[in-house]
Structure formats: structure tokens, C-alpha cells
Structure 1
Amino acid sequence: MNLSQPLFAARSLGRWSLLTAALLLAACSNMSQQAEQRAQTAALSSTTPQTASTLGTQWGEGRESRVYSVQAQRVEPQRDELQLAYSDERSIRQALGQNLDAQRSILLDQGKVELSVHDARDMPLTIYSSIGQNNYQLAGKAGERYVLVYTNRSATPYEIITTVDGLDVLSGKPGSRSHNGYMLQAGAVLRIEGFRKSAEEVAAFRFSGKDRAYAANSLAGDTRNIGVIGAVLYEVRPVKPSQPVSPTANPFPGDAGKGQYAPPPRY
């Protein structure tokens, strides 16, 4: 049996976008599936990149990104999973040698979803790998802002759980496949610009030295995971809400979403 719970859609930079944050998405499965998930739950935070990274991702400047509630339902099992290491280009080329391939995007779930990583000018960054292998390595530069861009080329909506340096981009907690993720609508483009600070704002992703990385300055972070981006895809089904939600007066509005989003770093 699957449980449907509220999701959140986002408004960014004064225009409605097609991204949806599945902050409260949950699903039930049989006991064997739950046991398997528990055995794997730490993988997104414990995996390390294939090349020793010289870079981390810093908690950058605030960028507007608003969310609101919708309804959807996760479909088990997961459709695909990705590990994307990143470092400076010179280190990547030295590690891979002459047996390297270069591309601008990665295909997920048999090409239904395409991931590219864009810079501040919205140009795709180069992703390297060994020829014929999937040991993807993203080339970045310290100080450079980047955005994760997911393009859905299918008629199926997806939930995408994303981690950076082993930390969930929504909550700032150690990454897990059981966490909630962003919802990528059918035929839409999802842009994840940073760690979510609140329902209105994210902290931009910026390449940095490893000592300035958010994961190195967060109680939930583990420096062994710096230098890797993770993603897990699930199909989702839209669900009509059981009853309309009517706004009510809130005497403590500052507590809304408390503990739900990523806390700021401590330097």
C-alpha cells in the first residue's frame, strides 16, 4: 500500500516554474522491501568519489525559490541512481589519463530523464568518464556557482532525491533513499540551485576548497563524502487531496517548517 502526502511546488524569481519539492513524500512497502531499504539507507552519504576531489560545495548566497503544497504518491522500486564525482579539471584528466570521454549531460532511466550541471551563465559544465564506463567526473572551479538541471523527456513524473557532499539538499541531513525529494513533472525541467534554507529561499551551490564546504562545517556533514553528487529517481503518481486545506490563523508562524530545511553552516 502506498501513502500519499503533501508535496510542495516552487515559484522562483517571480515566475512559476515546473519544479515541485516533495518534502513530505512517503511510501509503504512490504517487509522485505523495507529491510532492503534499511540496508541501503546510508549509501548516498557514505559513497566516495572515484577521484580524490580537490573541491567541495560551499553554502552560497541566498536565492529566491518558493514552495507550495500539492499531492503525489511514490512508486516503488526506484527507477535509477547516480553518483557524480567532481573535482578540478586538471586532477580529473590526470586520474583518467588518455582513456577519457567528455560529455555535457547524463541520461537516467533509459534516457527518460537527462541531468546536466550548469554554471552561472547557464552553460553546461563538462562531465568526464573513462571510455565505455560510468565513472562520471564533473569538472568545476573554486568560486564557481552551479545548478543541477533535470529534464524530463517522458510523460511520467518523477521524484528526485539529491545529495551534495553526502548531505540532502532539502534538509541538510545525511543523504538517504528514504528521504523526501523534488518532484520533476512530466515534460518539465527541474533546476536545483542550492541547499534549501526555507520555503522561500535556497543557499546557492558554489564550488569551494574542501575546508569551506558546507559538509565540513555542518554537524551532519562527513568530510569523507565531500566531492560527490548523488541522485535517486522514483516514479510518482499525482493524487487528489482527500479534502481541501483551508488556511487558519497561526500564533507561532516562525515555527513553520522548523527542522525541515538545511541549517546554516558553522565556521
Structure 2
Amino acid sequence: MKKINQFVGVFSAIFLAACSQKPIETQQNSTRLNQETTAVSVAKDRITNAKISSEERLGTSWGDDIQSQVTEVDLRRLSNKPVAEVLLRYANKDFQGRAVNSIALNAGKISLSVVDDRGHGLALYRADQQYFLAGKNGQSYQLRYENHTGKTFEVVASVDGLDVINGRAASRHNAGYVLEPYKTLDIEGFRKSNDAVASFTFSQPKDAYAANSVSGSVQNTGIIGSVIYELKVPEVKQRSNNQYAPAPNAFPADR
């Protein structure tokens, strides 16, 4: 009986091991299948988004004048290598992919969103590490950058291949706007002077600022670029937003 019991025990162990391997193997196959399906879907979305017909294309024209004062400061970049860069294609199109409220830059230290005149976010989509913005002709928009750190950054932005500050052909080497610690920077339009900008407004490509500027080209309409640099400024500690009185201390003498 002892030998029989040992045999049965070994047989049971082998049987259990064999049974336990099947669900794991099935799960692995299912995970692999899901990953492959997701990869195919993402690639399909990217290809679909890249195909923008002439009827769907948009550009950005000069909109209403907006009061926006700016001053020049003398700051230096920590490095000539940007900490983040992103391209955002836009069109009057139902883009496919994952809908996102904002784009995380520099490992989430900075976020970029696109909002309308009322501050409501416009639809953004991500497909295969590419980003897309759904717009409509005649709609005004703003670029919103939020700094979630105590560091100071510089934002060099372009719309339709034109620098948003000087209106010339965009370059990563151009000067940008300062994004202060724990602050929000709204770029509302093409700068006209130190006191005003012309609001970004979606338009037909032929009516875009880039199509009617000696520095621009209608071929570059439909794209927004953002490059982020860290500046040589001491890091700022986050201020407390707590509006309530500090909690009472039961043993105030024991400090």
C-alpha cells in the first residue's frame, strides 16, 4: 500500500503540474494575442490619421487682437539639448486612437493641452506615439502649457512652421516663452507687438498666415510644434495651497 500511495502521490503531482501549466500557457498566448491586436490597431490608426484629404486640411489664420503683454528677460538654457519635443498634427477630421486630455512632456513634468476661448479642452488623440488635434474652420484656440515642477523652462512653439513670437520660419534655436515654476502659460496667438497677439484661428490652408507670409508656406499648414528647454534658474519650492489652519498639537512642548 505504501508503494501504491507513493505512486499515486507522484502521479497526482505530475497531473496537477500539467494542469496548472495549461492556464498559464493559455493566458500567455491570450496576452500575446491582445498585444499583437493592439499593435495592429494602433498602426492602423496612425495610417488612417496620416491620410488627410484636401477637404479636411486646416491652417491657422490671424484672428482677433488680444491684449497680451510680454517683457524680455535674460536667461540661459541649461543645455542646448531640449528636454522634450512634440509635434501635433491638426485637421477637420475624425481622428482615431486613444483620446487624451493633455500631452505629457518631460516625463509628465509639463503638460500641453489645446483649449478654446472658454478654456475648454479640444479633442486630442494619440496613436503610435503621434498626436492629433481635431479642429473646425473658424474656431479659435490657445496652446496651454502647465509646469508641475519647481524648475523654470523655456517653450519654443511654432504653428504651421512659423515661430509664434516673431512670425518667421520656426527654428529650435529661436527664443521662446518662459514657463515659470508651478505656473500655466497660455500662448493665445501670433505675437504682433509687446502688447498684443492675433488669436490662433483655424482656417482653410489658403487663408492661413503661413500661406500669406513671405516666411511661410502653405505646405506647412496643419502642424503645431513645441520644444522645451530647462533654464538656469534656481529651483523653487512649491507653495502650500492649504487655506486651513494647521492641525492642533497635543504635545506642543515636545518639538
- Say yes or no: TM over 0.5: yes
The alpha-carbon distance between structure 1 residues 51 and 66, as it changes in their structure 2 partners (threshold 3 A), is: farther
Of 106, 113, 116, the match for 2:113: 116
CA offsets, 1:211-232, max 9 Å, x none? 1110011010111110000010
The alpha-carbon distance between structure 1 residues 51 and 235, as it changes in their structure 2 partners (threshold 3 A), is: farther
Counterparts of 1:173-212 in structure 2, within 5 Å, are 173-212=168-207
Counterparts of 1:137 and 1:191, CA distance in 2: 19
Q: Cα distance, 1:70 vs. partner?
A: 2.9
CA offsets, 1:165-197, max 9 Å, x none? 000000111111110000100111000000000
Counterparts of 1:59-78 in structure 2, within 5 Å, are 59-76=62-79, 77-78=81-82
**Residue 147 (structure 1) aligned with residue 151 (structure 2):** no
- In structure 2, stretches of 5+ residues that fail to align are 1-48, 235-255
Counterparts of 2:141 and 2:171, CA distance in 1: 23
The alpha-carbon distance between structure 1 residues 51 and 198, as it changes in their structure 2 partners (threshold 3 A), is: farther
The one-letter amino acid paired with 1:187 is Y
Which residue number in structure 2 is paired with residue 165 of structure 1? 160
The one-letter amino acid paired with 2:113 is S
Which one has the bigger strand percentage? 1
Q: Cα distance, 1:136 vs. partner?
A: 0.6
The one-letter amino acid paired with 2:65 is G
- Partner SS for 1:224: helix
Q: Cα distance, 1:51 vs. partner?
A: 4.3
Counterparts of 1:203 and 1:188, CA distance in 2: 23
Work out whether residues 87 and 227 of structure 1, in 8 Å CA contact, stay in contact via their aligned partners in 2: yes
The one-letter amino acid paired with 2:192 is K
Which structure: larger Rg?
2
Work out whether residues 102 and 113 of structure 2, in 8 Å CA contact, stay in contact via their aligned partners in 1: yes
Which one has the bigger helix percentage? 2
Which residue number in structure 2 is paired with residue 54 of structure 1? 57
Of 98, 102, 112, the match for 1:101: 98
Q: CA RMSD in A?
A: 1.5
Work out whether residues 55 and 209 of structure 1, in 8 Å CA contact, stay in contact via their aligned partners in 2: yes
Counterparts of 1:170 and 1:161, CA distance in 2: 9
Of 187, 196, 211, the match for 1:216: 211
Counterparts of 1:181 and 1:51, CA distance in 2: 31
Q: Cα distance, 1:72 vs. partner?
A: 1.5
The one-letter amino acid paired with 2:86 is L
Counterparts of 1:56 and 1:135, CA distance in 2: 19
Q: Cα distance, 1:237 vs. partner?
A: 1.8
Counterparts of 2:171 and 2:74, CA distance in 1: 22
Work out whether residues 71 and 238 of structure 1, in 8 Å CA contact, stay in contact via their aligned partners in 2: no
The one-letter amino acid paired with 1:78 is P
The one-letter amino acid paired with 2:140 is R
Counterparts of 2:217 and 2:207, CA distance in 1: 13
Q: Cα distance, 1:129 vs. partner?
A: 2.3
Counterparts of 1:188 and 1:56, CA distance in 2: 29
Of 85, 91, 97, the match for 1:87: 91
Counterparts of 1:138 and 1:110, CA distance in 2: 21
Q: Cα distance, 1:89 vs. partner?
A: 3.1
Work out whether residues 139 and 202 of structure 2, in 8 Å CA contact, stay in contact via their aligned partners in 1: yes
The one-letter amino acid paired with 1:111 is G
Work out whether residues 151 and 233 of structure 2, in 8 Å CA contact, stay in contact via their aligned partners in 1: no
Aligned length: 182
The one-letter amino acid paired with 2:137 is A
State percent identity of aligned pairs. Answer: 41
The TM-score normalised by the length of structure 1 is 0.66
